[in-house]
Amino acid sequence: MNMNLLERIDDYTWTIPLKVGEKRSGIRLYGSEPLLKSMDDKVLEQITNVATLPGLVGEAMTMPDAHWGYGFPIGGVAAFDAEEGGIISAGGVGFDISCGIRCLRTNLMREDLTSTDLTKLADELSRAIPAGVGREGKLRLTLDELDDVLRGGAQWAIHHGYGLGEDLSFVEEMGKMQGARPENISRLAKERQLGEVGTLGSGNHYLEVQEVAKIYDEKAAEAFGIKKGQIVVSIHCGSRALGHQIGTEYLVSLAKAATRLGISLPDRELACAPIHSPEGQEYIGAMNAAINCAMANRQVLTHMTRNAFECLFKGVKIETLYDVSHNTCKEETHLVNGVERNLWVHRKGATRAFGPGHPDIPVRYRSVGQPVIIGGSMGTGSYILAGTKEGEERAFSSASHGAGRAMSRHQALKLWKGKQVIQELAQKGILIRSASMRGVAEEAPDAYKDVDLVAQATEKAGLARRVAFLRPKVCIKG
DNA sequence: ATGTAC
């Protein structure tokens, strides 16, 4: 990014000064100077576009891991007030609606796993977890059953034997998003999903077995039930074909609504409609149903993970640490200049990060803040952080979500071969199992930004504080 | 992200 276009507020907070005659809201970019320097100029252009949207409250923001996306940047946060003409945008949620990460803690320690165990575990997980583009899973649902999934979310999965009731306390919204309207979703979107509940997908989605390699905050780690050397599992996936199809279809309907209502869009990809409009309401109902689809998906995968571990480690105990999405728009209460307001917060490639005391945090974690999961690239590691009070005011309680791509898939393919990436990671003791060698090359660790810098900048910017670093041991890729 | 390519 051309740093001359930015104005430094502090070491981790930047803005773009308003030009004379320019009409838009303010902008905040969070991150260290090196991270911002490495960002595409397109991020700046896109967040400037977002800042022109009607009903925006406060500032349009980017997280330290921001990169170019469809309309909105990935790593973009924007809150709108429905009573002031605020909008909802499909591009502001992302195509993979409710993509997110479920982290599980096991009662195994690193010393419990020999290298033979790890190989067996990698093989068993790659057998048990359906992964890859268009890959179908073990469940074959009817359209009526899928509607139940879309209304019930992770609660549907629990009621159908996929998991334990106690998981639900550690999933956003207790695993069931209210306001889901399956009737707002096309038959095509549903048909595409019938065989894909309980599947991982492709791209940057993964299931990783990791060890807790470093603890930054002992008190929070204790609350989260993790300690150094412990084995955890992270599942990164979303709403699969369903979310993508909804996004595709609603972009058209929202664009029409914007035209009809005279909302001027600097970029067609920002297609949006007022929250108080038929099209806006229709999309919100569909999006909420897709959120349930994603939470059900991660719940079914949790069940499959437990079964795979149980095959090798009889009596192993696996609990849900937390499940949090990073592609949503949610109605939340936020304090703005001392006034409590009801806002619709778009977080696209940004994780919700409620601070200590927030009523929507599980009681067990409430005093330390909501767990925030930053997923790394394949083979580099991930972080668990905790939401802060400061983050409420600075970013409507939002934080980073991952390392963020440093180069395009196309560029990555020119630089690496899948086989070579797998061999290099094996030398570091990381086992990869993937349906696609091409996918592995596209996801090479160096095609991503440095997750350590992202987590550090997230903390320094006051958005969330680091609790633990997770080092990968086994990675199942789509 | 995605039956990766209307």
Q: How far is the CA of A362 from the C1' of B4 (A)?
A: 38
β-pair type (A464-477, A431-434): parallel
Q: Give me A234's structure tokens.
A: 């992270």
Answer whether residue A20 shows pLDDT above 90.
yes
Residue A18, CB, strand B, below 7 Å: no
Predicted confidence at residue A28, as pLDDT, reads: 98
In this prediction, residue A134 carries a pLDDT of 92
CATH code, domain carrying A361: 3.90.1860.10
Separation between the CA of A241 and the C1’ of B2 (whole angstroms): 7
pLDDT on residue A357: 98
The helix/strand/coil state of A5 is helix
**Which residues of chain A between 439 and 468 are close to nucleic strand B, CB under 7 A?**
439
**A188 to each of A193, A203, A220, A307, how far by Cα in Å?**
9, 22, 44, 32
Residue A368 has pLDDT above 90, yes or no: yes
Strand B-contacting residues in A 101-160, CB cut-off 7 angstroms: 133-134
Find which nucleotide's C1' atom is closest to A70's CA.
B1
Nucleotide whose C1' lies closest to the alpha carbon of residue A237: B1
Mean pLDDT of A355-370: 98
**A33 pLDDT more than 90:** yes
A230 CA from B4 C1′ (Å): 37
The strand B neighbours among A residues 226-245, by Cβ under 7 Å, are: 237-238, 240-241, 244
Q: Give residue A478's pLDDT.
A: 87
Between CA A393 and C1' B5 the distance (Å) reads: 44
Mean of the per-residue pLDDT values for chain A? Answer: 97
Cβ proximity of A97 and A237 under 8 Å: no
List the A133 CA – B4 C1' distance (angstroms). 8
- How buried is residue A312: exposed, middle or buried, by Cβ count under 10 Å (0-12/13-18/19+)? middle
CA of A46 to C1' of B1 (A): 19
CA of A240 to C1' of B2 (A): 8
Number of domains in chain A: 1
Q: What is the pLDDT at residue A24?
A: 97
The predicted-structure confidence for A203-230, as pLDDT tens digits, reads as follows: 999 999 999 999 999 999 999 999 999 9
Structure tokens belonging to residue A183: 């009737």
Each residue's pLDDT tens digit, A419-444: 999 999 999 999 999 989 999 999 99
Q: Which domain holds residue A80?
A: 3-477
User: Which 346-405 residues of chain A approach strand B with CB closer than 7 Å?
Assistant: none
Tens digits of residue pLDDT in A239-287: 999 999 999 999 999 999 999 999 999 999 999 999 999 999 999 999 9
Q: What percent of chain A has pLDDT over 70?
A: 100
Catalytic residue among A67, A159, A401, A410: A401
Burial of A95 (0-12, 13-18, 19+ CB in 10 A): buried
Residue nearest to nucleotide B1 (CA to C1'): A96
CA max distance for chain A: 68
A191 membership: H or E segment, kind and range = helix A187-193
Task: Report how far residue A80's alpha carbon sits from residue A131's, in angstroms, rounded to the nearest whole number.
Answer: 36
Going by pLDDT thresholds of 50, 70 and 90, the confidence category of residue A379 is confident
Helical ranges in A330-475 per DSSP H:
389-395, 409-415, 418-427, 437-442, 451-460
How confident is the model at residue A378, as a pLDDT? 87
Q: Nucleotides of chain B within 7 Å of a protein C-beta?
A: 1-4
Q: A294-351: per-residue pLDDT in tens?
A: 999 999 999 999 999 999 999 999 999 999 999 999 999 999 999 999 999 999 999 9
Active site residue A67: no
If we measure between CA atoms, which residue out of A33, A32, A92, A381 comes closest to residue A213? A381
Query: What is the tens place of the pLDDT at every residue in A65-76?
Result: 999 999 999 999
Measuring from the CA of residue A99 to each C1' atom, give the nucleotide at the shortest distance: B1
Q: Which two tokens stand for residue A228?
A: 């150094």
Rg, chain A, Cα only: 21
- Give the CA distances from residue A393 to residues A51, A333, A341, A455, A467, in Å, rounded to whole numbers and listed in that order: 18, 12, 12, 19, 21
pLDDT tens-digit map of A157-206: 999 999 999 999 999 999 999 999 999 999 999 999 999 999 999 999 99
Q: Which nucleotide is nearest to A192 (CA to C1')?
A: B3
In whole angstroms, give the CA distance from residue A119 to residue A202.
22
Q: Which nucleotide is nearest to A442 (CA to C1')?
A: B4
Q: Does position A404 have pLDDT exceeding 90, yes or no?
A: no
Nucleotide nearest to A202 (CA to C1'): B1
- Of A137, A173, A135, the residue nearest A156 (C-alpha): A173
